[in-house]
Structure formats: C-alpha cells, structure tokens
C-alpha cells in the first residue's frame, strides 16, 4: 500500500506476521503484524562544477542536474484483536494490502507517528543537499579577538 504526504511516498509492506493456531473455529489466525514503512522523496539537485578537458587545462564551469532520492525505513509491530472475529479470511487467501489495512486500522497512532518521523528525516536529508549552508556550522574567531591579534602583530 502506498500513501503520499508532502511529496513523500510511504510504501507499507508486511515482511512478517505471527499467527495463533486456532481461535474459536478459525485456524491460523493472525495476531501480530510487522509493518515496514519505506518513505522516500525524489528530487532534482542542480549545481555547477568545473570540467577539465585535459589535465592542466583551464576548467569550464558546467551546470549539472542530478535526480536524487532521500529515504528512510522503519517498522512497527501491531497486535490484532482476535476476540469476536466477525468475518474470517483463510490464511492462504490473504492479500498483503488487506493485512496492511487491518494493521493500520488497528493502530493509527503508530502509523502516523512513524510516517511523520520518516517524513521529517527524508525532507531534512533533501534540504541538506539543496541548502547546505543552512546546516554548515562554524566556530569563527570573534571580530574583537581578530582585531586585537592584528593590532599586536602590527606593533
């Protein structure tokens, strides 16, 4: 199942699940589902670089556009309520999208929490590429210290 939010695509899959042998007259009943959430965003990164025709030659400034992908994967474990099963689907007839929907309906808070966290991570990763100065940290010499040092050196 795929959900898109703020240009981020969230792909929900079920890598594993846990069953209990029998509940009432139903066999192989799913009681726990592992939901994997793979979140990604694709974007274009345009920048300039110097290209050298041959070693020692003068570089030519060239604009380059690359498509990049930022991604994050997380997973949640969802317990399904096996009490009072009103409609039952046999294990062999299950489809992944159906089980994903059961799991997400059973724990909407965890789903949203992980989607939001993954989304924040991939959007920040994209922003770090597109706006690197926003994340650049520096510990410069203070202007008054620099002036004092220059004054001492000039004496």
Look at the alpha carbons of 79, 38, 119, 101 in this order and tell me if their dihedral is positive or negative. negative
Residue 28 predicted with pLDDT over 90: no
pLDDT recorded at residue 86 = 77
Residue 85 predicted with pLDDT over 80: no
Measured CA angle at 80 (ends 34, 118), to 5 deg: 40
Residue 90 predicted with pLDDT over 90: no
Confidence of residue 50 (pLDDT cuts 50, 70, 90): confident
Q: In this predicted model, what pLDDT tens digit does every residue of 101-137 receive, in sequence order?
A: 989 888 888 888 999 999 999 999 999 999 999 999 9
77/37 Cα distance (integer angstroms): 11
The total number of structural domains that make up the chain: 1
Q: Domain range holding 69?
A: 2-154
Q: In this predicted model, what pLDDT tens digit does every residue of 57-80 receive, in sequence order?
A: 888 899 999 999 999 999 999 998
- Return the percentage of the chain with pLDDT > 70, whole number: 100
């Amino acid at each position: 199942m795929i959900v898109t939010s703020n240009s981020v695509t969230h792909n929900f899959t079920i890598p594993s699940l846990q069953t209990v042998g029998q509940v009432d007259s139903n066999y192989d009943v799913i009681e726990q589902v592992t939901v994997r959430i793979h979140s990604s965003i694709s974007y274009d990164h345009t920048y300039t670089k110097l290209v050298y025709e041959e070693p020692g030659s003068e570089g030519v400034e060239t604009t380059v556009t690359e498509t990049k992908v930022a991604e994050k994967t997380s997973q949640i474990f969802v317990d399904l309520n096996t009490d009072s099963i009103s409609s039952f689907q046999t294990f062999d007839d299950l489809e992944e999208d159906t089980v994903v929907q059961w799991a997400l309906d059973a724990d909407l808070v965890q789903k949203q929490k992980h989607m939001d966290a993954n989304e924040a991570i991939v959007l920040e990763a994209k922003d770090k590429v597109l706006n690197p100065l926003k994340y650049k940290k520096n510990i410069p010499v203070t202007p008054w210290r620099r002036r004092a040092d220059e004054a001492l050196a000039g004496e």
